[in-house]
Amino acid sequence: MSVAPVESIASLSSDLFYDILRRLDGPTLASAACTCAAFCSISKEESLWENVCSSMWPSTNREDVKSLISSIGGFRKFYADCFPLILNKEVVEYQPNCFLEYPEDWTEAEYYGDMNEFESISPSDFVSIVDIRYKEKPICSKVLWGIPNANGFNGWFYNCPFRIDLLTYADRDDNNDGVVTLSVSNGLPPIISMERERKDGKLWRELRDGLQLSWIVVNRKMKQAANLASWSPLGGQRHWPTDKDFVLRFGFVLPAKDILPCQVVECILIMKFRMVHSEQEGGGGGQTSLRLTELSMQLEDMEGAHVNGRNSLHILKEALSCRRSKNYSEVLESCHMYSKVQNELKEEKMRNESRLDRLCILSGIAAFITFCYCVL
């Protein structure tokens, strides 16, 4: 059987082009759009990018989320905003005394900001679209409209530490609203005993290497979106606060220029799993599984202090306009620089406190000697 030769790629039907492109992931689709005019034209189809987004972020399959994405510019723009990660190069090398005026030298008005400036930023404008994957397979998708308790009595939200606990406040209409668990069926290694796990850390390595988090924040008024999660964990802690808990930390460094004196803050996303055991039928032992017990967001400044709700809204708003990068190592470099500067700041603060302690001791000794001399 002979196959008719193709004279040129332009002679192929647009339906065939579409069928080819709909099988591609986002980066490959974007690259294919640059190859020829036909691919470029068809790659602008919203249905292609809707398919890409639903594959990458299962939460975008919800009808309310689809309407939201359409209202802020469509799936193509949504992918372009949320696939690259936030890149913040505003983190500078540590210089002694560069942060020491914070927060004592700031007045209450300077620290909390002018209320009129924040009237245009409403907590109800923000939407959180969250997806968790383990070994490339989705295990949890949640959507949170607005920021919980932001309109509380006397506006307490604006002056209290900002925090979103997604497991507590997520929309009750989520399809998988309930307990999120991982087990051997998801690819977890079987755990014979916690004593062995404490020694070899096999389960911890599997979690750290296999879990991925996407936390997209959308501002409906600004029609902008950004992914505030680092996909892979930036750090974590085994067996804290109990032997059965595993904490993983995601996040990014966000700009806070003209908002806080430290100029940059850390968006910290915490994911915590706890080991549980379910008895098998017949009493033949138990199967080890992990339950997701915490998924939260908070903002901390360079000194580790929690940022209040008012400043957090402004920081989140600015983050949606941040520079993006597809170079993951470049993004991680800014996070590592932040940690380095933060550690140096803590060391400098400890040295200052140590010098102050010695000075107080010497002053006390001098006062005691003076007192003894006067008595004698």
Total domains in the chain come to: 2
* 258 assigned to some structural domain: yes
- CB of 301 within 8 A of CB of 260? yes
Question: How remote is the C-alpha of 368 from its chain's centroid?
Answer: 54
For residue 317, give the nearest of 228, 236, 248, 235 by alpha carbon.
228
Mean pLDDT for the stretch of residues 116-121: 58
- CB of 91 within 8 A of CB of 338? yes
User: Same domain, yes or no, for 188 and 326?
Assistant: yes
Return the exposure string of 143-171: e unless at least 16 CB atoms fall within 10 Å of the residue's CB, then b.
bbbbbbebeeeeeebbeeebbbebbebbe
* 373 assigned to some structural domain: no
* 115 assigned to some structural domain: no
User: Same domain, yes or no, for 188 and 299?
Assistant: yes
User: Same domain, yes or no, for 296 and 191?
Assistant: yes
Mean pLDDT for the stretch of residues 197-213: 89
What would the pLDDT profile of 262-284 be if each residue is shown by its tens digit? 788 899 999 999 988 654 444 44
Residues above pLDDT 70, as percent of the chain: 79
- Mean pLDDT rounded to a whole number for the chain: 80
Kindly tell me the number of DSSP H helices and DSSP E strands found in the chain: 14, 12
- CB of 318 within 8 A of CB of 90? no
More confident residue, 197 or 1: 197
Question: How remote is the C-alpha of 121 from its chain's centroid?
Answer: 21
pTM of the entire structure? Answer: 0.81
- Give the DSSP per-residue string, 200-225: H-HHHHHHHHHEEEEEEEEETTTTEE
User: Same domain, yes or no, for 307 and 160?
Assistant: yes
Mean pLDDT for the stretch of residues 37-63: 89
* 233 assigned to some structural domain: yes
User: Same domain, yes or no, for 135 and 280?
Assistant: yes
Which residue range is the domain that position 254 belongs to?
121-347
pLDDT band at 2 (very low <50, low <70, confident <90, very high): very low
